[in-house]
Every structure is written in C-alpha cells, then in structure tokens.
Amino acid sequence: MEKSKLAKSLSRLSPAQWDSLMQYAGSTASGLPKDALQLLQLLRERAGTAGALSKEEAFRAVYPRAPFNLQQINQAMSFALKAVESWMALQWQAQRPALQHWQRAEALLGAGLPKHFRQALRQGERANARQKDGAWKRHLDFLLADLRERAFQQENTRRPDPALQQASDALDEHYALQKLKYVCAMLNREKLMQEQFEYHLPSFVLHGAGFHSPLIGLYRNLYHILSGEEGHEARFREYLQLYRAAESQIGRSESRALLYYAINYCIGQIRDGQRAWALPLFELYENGLKRGLLVEGGLLSPWTYKNMVKIGLNLKRFGWVESFVRAYSKMLPEAEKEDALHYNLAELYFFQARYDEALQQLHRVEFTDIHYNLGSRALLAKIYYEQQQSDPLEAALRAFLVFLRRQSKIPVAVREPYKNFARILLRALKSLPEHLPLLEKEVQSLPSLNNRDWILQKLRGKQV
C-alpha cells in the first residue's frame, strides 16, 4: 500500500497539514464516506512508522468483522485519494488570494452585479500588488486588467478609460516574462540533452522598454549568457548584481530557478578549467541554503548535496564541510541518508589525510546507490595509493575494472570516467619513472576521466 498514489500523496504531510486535511475530510464539503474517513485516520496514525501498511491490514482495521474484499478497500482508497487531492487544490487556492478575488469578480461580472464586481476587483488588485514579482503575478495583472476592460465594454458608454491600455500593457509584460523564461529553459535544455528548439523571440521582448518586472531584466541577461555570446562572463557578473538587488522583490520559486541557473553557469565554467569560479559557486550555495531555496518540502537534492561537499573540499573549508555533511544528510531522501553521510565523511577525511578514519567510514557505505558504489571504489583506491599499499591497490583496481565490465546497465557517460581512472592508475602503479611523462600526456588528453587533477598531481610527484 505504501506504493499507492494515496500513500505517496500523504507521505510528505506535516502534522499541521494532517490536521487541516482531517478537518476537511470530516466536513460535509468533502463528501467522504465513513469507511474512507476511517482509512485516512488509520493512515494518519501510521504516518512516519517504519512498517509498511498492507491492504489486508488496512481492511481489517476499517472493516473488523468482514472477510477481506480487495475491491472494497480499493474503493475506499479511491474516495480517500479524491478527498486528499481536493484538499490540496483548496490549499493551493488559499495561498493565492488574488486569484480567489479574480474568480469572484469574474462570476459577479457575469451575474450583472457591477457594485459587487468592482469591490471584488479592487480586492484582487490590492492582493496582487502585495505579491512578490513572478510570472504568476504578471499573469494576474493581465487577468485583472482584462476584467476591468470587459466591465467598461459592458457599460457601453463613450468616455475615456485607461483599462484598455492597462490590459494591453499587462499582457505585453506577462508575455515578455513568460517567453524569456521559456527561451532560457530551451537554451539550457539544449546544452544538457542536445535537444533542438525554435525560439521565435520577438524584438520587443529582448529590447523593449517600459516593463516594471525586475525579472525581465534578469532573464534578458540570462538569455545572452546562455546563448554563449562574447562577454558572457561580464554579463554573468551583471546578472548576479541584478539578482542580489531583486532578491527581496521576487517570489520564492522564481528566485530558486534563477539561483540554479547561476549555479549551473559556475559549474560549467569550472568544468571548462576556470577554477576561479569555485568561490562564487560556494557563495551561491551558501546563499541558497540561508534563504531556504535549496530545500524543497524538507528535502535537499542529492546532486546539490554532493556538489556542495565537493566544492567545500576543493576550497579546503573542512570545518564547514563536516558541519554541512552531518546536518544536511538528514534532509536527503530516506534511501540515501546513511550512505551519503558515511561516503562524504570519508571524502572529507581523505582530503585531511586521515586515511584510517576515511576507511572506517567507507566500510559503513552500503552501496544502495550506484554513484556511491563507484565513488567509494575510486576513493578506496586513492587511499591505498596514499598509504603506499601496492598489493591491495592493484587488487582493488582490477576488481573495479571487472565490476565495471559486468555492470552493462551503468550509462557509458558514468562508467567510462571510472574505467579510465582505474586503468590509468593501474598503469601508473606498474610504470617506470621515465614512462610517466607519456602517461601524463595521455591523462591530459582523455575526454572523460574521474579524479583527473589528483592523478596528475600523483604522476608529477613520482617524476620528481
């Protein structure tokens, strides 16, 4: 039952959200049958417990005197799921008061109640003015202005009125912002997935003046950066200044998206060999953590977690890394928490040359995730190398290569850098000093190689 849509929809609810859900479920508005309500009460009691609730157990709790009937429990689950989804929709709507006022004004205009309509419209405009900038706010600006213009048309009077111009301007601003967001997403996706798009970007979107949204300026800059135009680094610095200046004005989801664009840009620069971007990247991550932008629904992305540890280690912020690893491993998906904690502590101790402690942490990694499995094998080899344990190192590298050959389901882009790492390190172990310069050239020319910098450092050290 834990894999059902019902269980998944309930899995992230906080105690306060459960209270709100149960209050709605118990009301006549939900229309929930008694057995479905009892099922929800049972699921609340079992929320957060380690044991998975089976359909048979749930049936016995809800219908204690009846023989098991799969169709009956499925029906109760279906009713409960509909109630949960309706409650979620109401919660979403409650967080958008301007939308509620717009809907009410739309209905009142259609009902021919101009006085009531004008009051609802003013309430909607005031509520939307209080919202932070974002595509949703700009969309509602247009909807509210359009409603005001439609009301004027219904009056059928001949007098000047600004509503038509306001509606047109609001539509332009909403369109410009949304179009820029789409185009930036297209450019970003083209780089990640080699997917091709047609942009059709009108000139007024990229160059038009008179827009009020600070987001339009940000996304215009972002467009030039993602397009790879000359001077993109200067554009990016300007983007960061605009972003910091607009932080208090823009909404959370918009701020998060723009932060990730900045993070990805820095990561790309570092991959291209521009190591000076490591510190700006670290500062972006720190800022995102402080503002709560990197944690969604109480969870931190495993990729963000790994990247933050890596950049912290490269900057030698060891105290920060240890605090971060221990505190934020608790915010990872349940299946990754333990492996993430022990693997990243092992990485930290390796950077600090605390090799025995690093080995102790590696022994506690259970390899539930293929990336931790591969990373742990590579780290084990590096520890043996640093400890000058030639025989265990050779055995570990040969076992690693066999493992990689057998794991055909691992994507080539993931497998190949590790395969090259094990192969090159094995050759370095067996090579005479006079052959190492040739091996170093090969390392520099390989398109994909894990731990390239560390290998180069070791090869150059052996040549001295």
Q: Is 14 helix (H, G, I), strand (E, B) or coil?
A: coil
| 250, 272, 294 - which closes a domain | 272
Q: Are residues 69 and 135 in the same domain?
A: no
Q: Which domain holds residue 264?
A: 131-272
Query: If pLDDT is split at 50, 70 and 90, which confidence band does 462 have?
Result: low
Percent of the chain with pLDDT over 70: 98
Q: Residue 101 domain-assigned?
A: no
Closest CA to 82 of 17, 24, 43, 19: 24
Q: Are 463 and 433 in contact (CB under 8 A)?
A: yes
Kindly state the helix (H) or strand (E) to which residue 292 belongs, with its residue range. Answer: none
Q: Are residues 258 and 158 in the same domain?
A: yes
The pLDDT score that the predictor gives to residue 49 is: 58
CA distances from 358 to 121, 345, 349, 364, 455 (A): 63, 7, 5, 10, 19
Contacts of 98 by beta carbon, 8 Å cutoff, 6+ apart: 124, 125, 127, 128, 131, 140, 144
On the question of pLDDT at 408 being above 90, the answer is no
Q: Give the separation between CA 419 and CA 413, rounded to whole angstroms.
A: 11
On the question of pLDDT at 173 being above 80, the answer is yes
Burial tier of 161 (Cβ tally within 10 Å: 0-12, 13-18, 19+): middle
Query: If pLDDT is split at 50, 70 and 90, which confidence band does 464 have?
Result: very low
The pLDDT score that the predictor gives to residue 259 is: 95
The pLDDT score that the predictor gives to residue 104 is: 96
The average pLDDT across 50-71 equals: 88
User: What are the tokens at 280?
Assistant: 């700006």
User: What are the tokens at 228?
Assistant: 């790879």
Tokens 């994507």 -> residue? 411
Q: Residue 417 domain-assigned?
A: yes
Q: Are residues 72 and 180 in the same domain?
A: no
Closest CA to 217 of 246, 247, 186, 257: 246
Q: Are 358 and 349 in contact (CB under 8 A)?
A: yes
Q: Residue 27 domain-assigned?
A: yes
Query: If pLDDT is split at 50, 70 and 90, which confidence band does 157 have?
Result: confident
Q: Give the separation between CA 366 and CA 342, rounded to whole angstroms.
A: 9
- Segment 409-434, tens digit of pLDDT: 888 888 999 999 999 999 999 888 88
When divided into structural domains, the chain yields a total of 3
Q: Are residues 232 and 148 in the same domain?
A: yes
Q: Are residues 71 and 185 in the same domain?
A: no
Q: Are residues 78 and 144 in the same domain?
A: no
| 72, 94, 116 - which closes a domain | 94
The average pLDDT across 388-393 equals: 94
Q: Residue 377 domain-assigned?
A: no
Q: Residue 439 domain-assigned?
A: yes
The average pLDDT across 164-168 equals: 95
Q: How many CB atoms lie within 10 A of CB 139?
A: 19
- Segment 6-54, tens digit of pLDDT: 998 998 888 899 999 999 999 998 999 999 999 999 999 988 654 578 9
Q: Residue 318 domain-assigned?
A: no
CA distances from 42 to 28, 45, 286, 380 (A): 20, 5, 41, 47
Q: Residue 316 domain-assigned?
A: no
Contacts of 101 by beta carbon, 8 Å cutoff, 6+ apart: 120, 121, 123, 124, 127
DSSP of 402-449? HHHHH-TTS-HHHHHHHHHHHHHHHHHHH--GGGHHHHHHHHHH-SS-
Q: Residue 160 domain-assigned?
A: yes
- Segment 257-299, tens digit of pLDDT: 999 999 999 988 887 878 899 999 999 999 999 999 999 878 8
Q: Give the separation between CA 77 and CA 86, rounded to whole angstroms.
A: 14
On the question of pLDDT at 445 being above 60, the answer is yes
Q: Are residues 154 and 238 in the same domain?
A: yes
| 223, 249, 272 - which closes a domain | 272
Q: Are residues 151 and 86 in the same domain?
A: no
The average pLDDT across 110-119 equals: 96
Q: Are residues 184 and 83 in the same domain?
A: no
Q: Residue 295: beta bridge partners?
A: 300
Q: Give the separation between CA 88 and CA 95, rounded to whole angstroms.
A: 11
